A and B are shown apart, each in its own frame.
Chain A
Amino acid sequence: MTSELILFFILAIVAVASAVGMLLSRNAVYAALYLILNFATVAVFYLMLSAAFISLVQVTVYAGAIMVLFLFVIMLLGAEHTGRLSESGWMFWTPIVLGAVLAVEALYIILRQWKAIPATQAAGSDFGAPAAVGLELFQNYLLPFEVTSVLLLVAMIGAILLARSKKA
């Protein structure tokens, strides 16, 4: 077992455990902190896949900006108590059944194709440098990039309009 594989398994255990911790914690602030831990470990996964730019964006945008927004709203509304999950009845079983069905389905597809999925990475480690990603975004994907920026603008205006108080 190589050191890379050991690192992968440790990170995977931490990521899945923090995701489960997010589900089980009663306090929404703790859930948000577990989610930050999860995003940080996923950022290390991106580094293992030699996607340095994506990894840094993951830390700044996801673990930074988005989760700060979550914590802000949780504390602003005083909505720390997430309420317990239902303990019986269809509200308890439906999510478990649907989640399990999805997991089994995905595992079945992956295991059936196990031989066909490539086991080794193909290129050198200098691919996916930030400069290459920037060139790709502004040359081949200029239109989707601009559409995304319009989407962000619309979301910003929408958020301001929705959260505005009536008196102001």
Chain B
Amino acid sequence: MIPLSYFLVFAAALFSIGLYGVLARRNAIAILMGVELMLNAVNINLVAFWRYITPTQIAGQAFAVMVFAVAAAEVAVGLALVISIYRRRNTVVADDIDLLKF
């Protein structure tokens, strides 16, 4: 039987890798991929806690489904923003999108 803490360590590793990706990448699409990785790690934690702590209530899975929906909405709007920015400024590099910067 796998202890719950193994899942937690694994999810923490994925979340940290995703955070590094969000902070280090310059391509806006790659930044969005990092965000997806972080949301995924959160979902692993939700399902693992459901399985080990409260397996008789399905709440953990219900919230995992909602996280899926939010992730899908986030990607749809995020990629639409990327397309819109690319049309106006002809770039997807986050460093070049600096109109709001002094």
B65 to chain A, nearest CB (A): 7
Bound-state CA distance A51–B80 (Å) is: 32
User: Total A-B pairs in contact (CB under 8 Å)?
Assistant: 239
- Judged by DSSP, the binding face of A is helix
In the complex formed, the residue of B with least CB distance to A53 is B61
**Which B residues are in CB contact (< 8 Å) with A57?**
65, 68
Q: How large is the interface on B (under 10, 10 to 19, 20 to 34, 35 or more residues)?
A: 35 or more
Q: Is the CB of A42 within 8 A of B92?
A: no
Q: Is the CB of B61 within 8 A of A136?
A: yes
Interface residues of A in 103-118 (CB under 8 A from B): 103, 106-107, 110, 114, 117-118
In the complex formed, the residue of A with least CB distance to B86 is A77
**Which A residues are in CB contact (< 8 Å) with B26?**
82-83, 85
Q: Is the CB of B55 within 8 A of A123?
A: yes
- Other-chain residue from B13, B27, B71, B77 in contact with A103 (beta carbon distance below 8 A): B13
**Other A-B pairs, 20, CB within 8 Å; known A32-B33, A69-B79, A149-B69:** A19-B14, A28-B29, A39-B40, A45-B7, A45-B44, A49-B47, A54-B47, A70-B75, A77-B92, A82-B25, A82-B30, A94-B23, A95-B23, A96-B20, A98-B20, A110-B5, A117-B8, A133-B62, A154-B73, A158-B80
Chain B residues packing against A (C-beta within 8 Å) = 1-10, 12-21, 23-27, 29-30, 32-33, 36-37, 40, 43-44, 47-48, 50-53, 55-59, 61-62, 64-66, 68-77, 79-84, 86-87, 92-93
Chain A residues packing against B (C-beta within 8 Å) = 2, 4-5, 8, 12, 15-16, 19-20, 22-23, 28, 31-32, 35, 38-39, 42, 45-46, 48-51, 53-54, 57-58, 61-62, 65-66, 69-70, 73-74, 76-77, 79, 81-83, 85-86, 91-92, 94-96, 98-100, 102-103, 106-107, 110, 114, 117-123, 127-128, 132-133, 135-137, 140-141, 144-145, 148-149, 151-152, 154-156, 158-160, 162-163, 165
